[in-house]
Amino acid sequence: MNKIYLNLIYLMTLQLLVLINSGCTEKEEHRVLVIHSYEYSYAAYPDFNILIKKAFKDKGIEADIRTVYLDCESHQEQEELDRMRMLLDSLGDWKPEIILVNEDQATYSLLKCGHPLPKQIPVVFAGVNYPNWELIKQYPNVTGFHDKIDYNKTLDVGLELLGKNIMLFTILDYTYLDQAIRADMKEQFRGRKVVGLAHLEFKRQKRDSMRKEGYVYFESIRARVVDASPGGFIWLLSKYVENRCYVQLKRDFTTVNIGNICASPSITAINEAFGYGEKLLGGYITPLNVQISEEVGEAVGILHGTSPGAIPVRESKKVYQIDWNVMQQLHISKKAIPAKYEIINMPFKERYNGLWMTLIVFIVVLLGSIISALAFLYWREQKRKKMALYALEDEKETLALSIEGGNTFAWKLQDDLIVLENAYWKWLGKKTRKVDIDELRNYIHPDHQELFKINKKNLALAKKKIVRLKCDFNGQGYQWWEFRYTTTQLANGQLKTAGLLLNIQEIKDREQELEDARRLAEKAELKQSFLANMSHEIRTPLNAIVGFSNILAMEDELDEADKTEYIDTINRNSELLLKLINDILELSRMESGNMTFQMEKCNVAGLVDKVYMTHKVLIPSYLEFIEERDDTPMEIEVDNDRLTQVLTNFLNNASKFTKEGYIKLGYCFVPEENQVRIYVEDSGIGIPKEEQHIIFSRFYKQNEFAQGTGLGLSICQVIVEKSHGSIELWSELGKGSRFTVVLPCHVIS
């Protein structure tokens, strides 16, 4: 088994090598002259020429072929010879290496015309039914194939295909060829019961009795010379003549196309026009492809060195052939054709019926499967679409239900117009329509017109926007509405804006209620904590005053030093109480708006200098007191005294909570903001981070026992706010603090 495989591989490799080799070797090139007997338009010639070219190629020769057409039926004998000479002359410098000449007429004319060319180069003839042996003998360089007509087999074809009763006829006159045919026929039919040749007249009665004796009728009629029975020829072509069959023995101007003209079936003894639409049913012939392959084979041998003189003229191979197209015309079934006949022009589906049927079934099954698959996909897609639609519908209903009653409406922007959903118009009691952005503007409260910034430009830019506006859509008063919208870019590059219009009046009402409640609560809480703080803050100094006053009044034995200390304590607490009351009054006056602020333009440098000068003497000497100034001359609009009060408070706190280091008073200009920053910085105890946000609350003191009321910073904040400024705090425990007043200012030139 392995050996077989090895052999197979060896063979395949060998074949591959041969193939590669043949692909690589350069092709032989030869000049070949092809001479045809008939006219250029003869139906078989296109195939004829292609087959010649291909036959050479198959033998590895790239043939440079020139083809000439003698057109023999258009010319008399002498004219034909002249034309042959003329055709050969027309080749000019192009000298063929071999001549292939086809059919009797061209072969005869070539050898007869006297042109030197056929003497100089080898000639191979083919398709010649009656070679002129005398002429051929004169040319040692001429060889070829004798397409010898087999009349007996031709006659058998007629009987086999059309029945024993068929009477055959052909057209023969008295030309050289016709006479040769007639003589050959007679010779070949010798000893066979064939009558009718040589234009014999038969009596009908005699014909019948002879047929019974096994005679076959094969008449020859004349076409060139009309004799005593002029109707004979035409009569034979007529459809009224039964059991007749035309036999093509030659192709000349009398016989060309007879097959088509004749109503009876026709057979042929030669390959001329067979299979090319002249209604010739079949015959025992040398087919065109055989003729060409023999002729080219011979030619290649000669081109490769064989001497034509060494090759005798041979008879060409013959086969039984039948034309499928004519079979169809004559309604002859395939079954009626004996196996020895090769059927030509048979369609693929007839020749390979089984394969054809399998192919058809396969295609049908394939198409069926494709259609079913497509139908299934379509059905599935439809189902999916339907489900999606139901889901969408359901979602829409759910959405509509959920927003119904809440006065929430969907809207979108379409062609610069706002399209509000039907529910909006139903709520309004109006017909659905599109709304212009300007029309929408009319529904908005005059105070909110500024806020309504929806326009084509910012709609396009909006990613996600929420705008709350007071609108009156139904003429029943303004209510709070919320416009929510989003703009996205679709896959096609277009912008899509859509959103919701929500009535938020209820939310707003609730918000207001909550705000009011919060304020009330805050007030109450404030009052309460204020009272608690107040009672604590007032009671402490009062207790001290009352207590020490009582001691002074009751105790007579007090020494002077104690007395002085008690009186000091009473005075200190009285001062504290007084300051407390003053601070409270001041704060409450400020908050209730009863305190007027004398706003005036004031030079920052002058104000800060003044405060610095005042505190220079007050700040303890163990602390360094620094002033920092900015060269930019600036003006602020404040109540001079109040701002001095704020800075004084900062400086007092700084000296209270700084035991060593420095206190800094300064200011700087912030050009980008047009602001001045006035600050008091110290290197004191600092304020813990978590307490920094509450030190401005009332009564806040980090240390309960620290000196002061805890109201100072609250008062400062109110003053600064009234001066359109703000206070900033920086502080770090153990490092120090900085209180900065930020105020709008302008530079003076």
Pairing of strands 675-682, 736-744: antiparallel
**181: number of Cβ within 10 Å:** 22
Q: Which is nearer to ligand ADP, 108 or 739 (CB)?
A: 739
Q: Which is nearer to ligand ADP, 267 or 590 (CB)?
A: 590
Distance (Å, rounded) from C-alpha 525 to C-alpha 521? 6
In 3D space, the residue among 568, 403, 589, 594 whose CA is nearest the CA of residue 499 turns out to be: 403
**What is the identity of the amino acid at 661?**
G
Q: Which is nearer to ligand ADP, 573 or 653 (CB)?
A: 653
Distance (Å, rounded) from C-alpha 109 to C-alpha 181? 19
Quote the least distance from Cβ 605 to ligand ADP, whole Å: 24
Quote the least distance from Cβ 699 to ligand ADP, whole Å: 8
Tokens coding 277: 């639409």
Tokens coding 196: 């009718």
Residue 602 DSSP SS3: strand
Q: Which is nearer to ligand ADP, 247 or 716 (CB)?
A: 716
Q: Which is nearer to ligand ADP, 107 or 655 (CB)?
A: 655
Q: Which is nearer to ligand ADP, 247 or 646 (CB)?
A: 646
In 3D space, the residue among 300, 290, 30 whose CA is nearest the CA of residue 145 turns out to be: 290
Quote the least distance from Cβ 495 to ligand ADP, whole Å: 56
Q: Which is nearer to ligand ADP, 369 or 582 (CB)?
A: 582
Please report which helix (H) or strand (E) contains residue 705, including its range: none
CA-CA-CA-CA torsion sign (347, 351, 353, 357): negative
Residues 274 and 323 sit within 8 Å (Cβ to Cβ): yes
Q: Which is nearer to ligand ADP, 68 or 687 (CB)?
A: 687
Q: Which is nearer to ligand ADP, 53 or 738 (CB)?
A: 738
Q: Which is nearer to ligand ADP, 455 or 588 (CB)?
A: 588
Tokens coding 54: 């291909």
Quote the least distance from Cβ 693 to ligand ADP, whole Å: 12
Distance (Å, rounded) from C-alpha 124 to C-alpha 295? 7
Tokens coding 480: 């709070």
> Which residues face 435 on adjacent strands?
418
Quote the least distance from Cβ 653 to ligand ADP, whole Å: 3
Quote the least distance from Cβ 737 to ligand ADP, whole Å: 4
Q: Which is nearer to ligand ADP, 171 or 590 (CB)?
A: 590
Task: Supply φ then ψ for residue 598, to 5 degrees.
Answer: -90, 85
Q: Which is nearer to ligand ADP, 275 or 710 (CB)?
A: 710
Tokens coding 53: 């070219």
End-to-end CA distance of the chain, in Å?
117
Quote the least distance from Cβ 526 to ligand ADP, whole Å: 16
Distance (Å, rounded) from C-alpha 537 to C-alpha 116? 152
Q: Which is nearer to ligand ADP, 441 or 693 (CB)?
A: 693
Quote the least distance from Cβ 551 to ligand ADP, whole Å: 27
The tokens 């600092």 sit on which residue? Answer: 686
Distance (Å, rounded) from C-alpha 402 to C-alpha 506? 17
Quote the least distance from Cβ 619 to ligand ADP, whole Å: 13
Q: Which is nearer to ligand ADP, 549 or 697 (CB)?
A: 697
Quote the least distance from Cβ 589 to ligand ADP, whole Å: 17
Quote the least distance from Cβ 717 to ligand ADP, whole Å: 9
In 3D space, the residue among 56, 137, 58, 136 whose CA is nearest the CA of residue 104 turns out to be: 136
Quote the least distance from Cβ 546 to ligand ADP, whole Å: 23
Judged by the rule CB under 6 A, the positions of this chain that interact with ligand ADP are: 649, 653-654, 657, 682, 684-685, 687, 695, 700-702, 706, 708-713, 737
Question: What letter does residue 500 receive in the DSSP assignment?
Answer: E
**614-640 core/surface letters (b: 16 or more CB in 10 A; e: else):** ebeeebeeebebeeeebebebbbebbb
Question: What letter does residue 448 receive in the DSSP assignment?
Answer: G
Quote the least distance from Cβ 711 to ligand ADP, whole Å: 5
Distance (Å, rounded) from C-alpha 93 to C-alpha 10? 50
In 3D space, the residue among 300, 263, 252, 403 whose CA is nearest the CA of residue 27 turns out to be: 300
How remote is the C-alpha of 397 from its chain's centroid?
Answer: 37
> Which residues face 193 on adjacent strands?
none
Quote the least distance from Cβ 708 to ligand ADP, whole Å: 2
Distance (Å, rounded) from C-alpha 401 to C-alpha 395? 10
**14: number of Cβ within 10 Å:** 10
Q: Which is nearer to ligand ADP, 283 or 684 (CB)?
A: 684
Quote the least distance from Cβ 652 to ligand ADP, whole Å: 6
| Apex 636 CA angle, 630 and 639, nearest 5 | 125
Quote the least distance from Cβ 634 to ligand ADP, whole Å: 25
In 3D space, the residue among 648, 671, 670, 661 whose CA is nearest the CA of residue 739 turns out to be: 648
Contacting residues for 738 by C-beta, under 8 A, at least 6 apart:
679, 680, 681, 682, 729, 730, 731
Instruction: Report the residue number whose CB is nearest to ligand ADP.
Output: 708
Q: Counting runs of H as helices and runs of E as strands, what totals does the chain give?
A: 23, 28
Distance (Å, rounded) from C-alpha 606 to C-alpha 618? 19
Q: Which is nearer to ligand ADP, 37 or 709 (CB)?
A: 709
DSSP, residue by residue, 646-676:
HHHHHHHHHHHS-SSEEEEEEEEEETTTTEE
Quote the least distance from Cβ 700 to ligand ADP, whole Å: 5
Q: Which is nearer to ligand ADP, 232 or 708 (CB)?
A: 708
In the chain, the largest separation of any two C-alpha atoms, in whole Å, equals: 198
